[in-house]
Amino acid sequence: MPPPAADAAATAPARPLPRAFYGRDPRHAAPELLNKVLAVGGVAGRIVEVEAYAGADDPASHAHRGPTARNATMFGPPGHLYVYRSYGLHWCANAVFGPAGTGLAVLVRALAPLAGLATMAERRRAARQPRDLCRGPGRLAQALGLTGDHDGADLVTGVGGVVVLDDGVAPPPSPGVSARIGVTRAADRPWRWYVPGERCVSAVRSSIGPVPCR
């Protein structure tokens, strides 16, 4: 007897997203990453907020000016993790998209914590409540223990210690959309998507500008 649909989703065996998922333009594919699971060992969270970066065509992208030592992973095959240092202090994680050489990527901006919350809390002493553990790109990298050592990890095979899983929860049928947060160039492009109503989407300072965020 098949279980009800909601239970089927919750109990489906988690399997990695296939390589082909990443081989597309993130301006269309990025919202499909919502509600997938990002896992590093036993620590994991559900992706609730993402931003697309469109390679050479996108002045806000690290790939805009071509390959460098830092962004080399962006120009490799899709389905790998690009980790970079932000403002000299924090780490941020992207999934590489598109055909190899295009520099397309999706920044993971927030997770709803799923597993390993005690470990996350040890790494994120400043977090005052569980919803703050992975609320923001620098915070989620810290909570998952992601650093430059994870740059290049294969999200499909798990080689490198990081994997993106589909556990049967569908993306939101109507994701929230806004401009990207914290970018100065190409600030008008509506390439941020989030799970509507989700409390774990990253905080936005009102001085930055009006961004729909609940």
Verify binding: residue 69, DNA, rule CB under 7 A: yes
Min separation Cβ 5 and DNA, Å:
35
Verify binding: residue 27, DNA, rule CB under 7 A: no
Verify binding: residue 92, DNA, rule CB under 7 A: yes
Verify binding: residue 61, DNA, rule CB under 7 A: yes
**Other CB atoms within 10 A of residue 61 CB:** 23
Verify binding: residue 136, DNA, rule CB under 7 A: yes
Question: H-type helices in the chain, by residue range?
Answer: 5-11, 19-22, 26-29, 117-123, 137-144
| CA–CA distance, 81 with 32 (Å, rounded to integer) | 17
CA angle centred on 179, ends 188 and 197, rounded to 5°: 160
147, 74 contact by CB (below 8 A): no
Verify binding: residue 80, DNA, rule CB under 7 A: no
CA angle centred on 77, ends 97 and 112, rounded to 5°: 45
Verify binding: residue 129, DNA, rule CB under 7 A: no
Verify binding: residue 137, DNA, rule CB under 7 A: yes
- SS3 of 155, please? coil
Min separation Cβ 24 and DNA, Å:
17
Q: Decide whether 58 or 167 has the Cβ nearer to DNA.
A: 58
- Report the interface residues with DNA, using CB under 7 A: 51, 53, 60-63, 65-66, 68-71, 74, 82, 84-90, 92, 94, 105, 107, 124, 126-127, 132, 136-140, 142, 180-185, 202, 205-207
